[in-house]
Amino acid sequence: MQGEPDSSAVPVALVQARQCAKGYWVWRVSVCPYCGRQHTHGAGDGPRPTGLGHRSAHCSTRSDDAARGYELRQLGGTS
Ligand SMILES: [Zn+2]
């Protein structure tokens, strides 16, 4: 685990990859840092999920905080 300095002050959302039907990947946020709910983000349809990093939060209740989004980081991942 490499802790890279992060001055953007965007919270980290830990995610796990799930592969849906038709080979489409999603990232599942188990606990949103803003609203505490689960969210899913599209991760493409390639051989591996893509799209980690900064994403918009998918909170049903929009707030100024949630508008900053969060950084998706794979739970237990090495990259
Ligand atoms: Zn949320």
With cut-offs at 50, 70 and 90, classify the pLDDT of residue 3.
low
Percent with pLDDT over 70 in the chain: 85
The answer to pTM > 0.75 is yes
* Section 21-38 average pLDDT: 93
Kindly list the distances between the CA atom of residue 40 and the CA atoms of 36, 61, 67, 71, in Å, as whole numbers in the listed order.
Answer: 13, 15, 16, 13
Per the listing, tokens 């709910």 go with: 37
Q: Which domain holds residue 17?
A: 12-74
Kindly state whether residue 50 falls inside one of the protein's structural domains.
yes
* Section 23-49 average pLDDT: 95
The string of DSSP codes covering 28-79 is EESS-TTTSS-EEEE--SSSS----EEE----SS--TTGGG-EEEEETT---
Kindly state whether residue 3 falls inside one of the protein's structural domains.
no
CB atoms within 10 A of CB 24: 14
Kindly state whether residue 65 falls inside one of the protein's structural domains.
yes
User: What's the 32 CA to ligand 1 centre distance in angstroms?
Assistant: 5
Kindly state whether residue 38 falls inside one of the protein's structural domains.
yes
Kindly state whether residue 70 falls inside one of the protein's structural domains.
yes
Kindly state whether residue 35 falls inside one of the protein's structural domains.
yes
User: What's the 71 CA to ligand 1 centre distance in angstroms?
Assistant: 12
26 has a pLDDT exceeding 60: yes
The larger pLDDT score, comparing residue 69 to residue 5, is at 69
Q: How many domains does the chain have?
A: 1
Kindly state whether residue 4 falls inside one of the protein's structural domains.
no
Kindly state whether residue 2 falls inside one of the protein's structural domains.
no
User: What's the 59 CA to ligand 1 centre distance in angstroms?
Assistant: 4
* Section 33-52 average pLDDT: 95
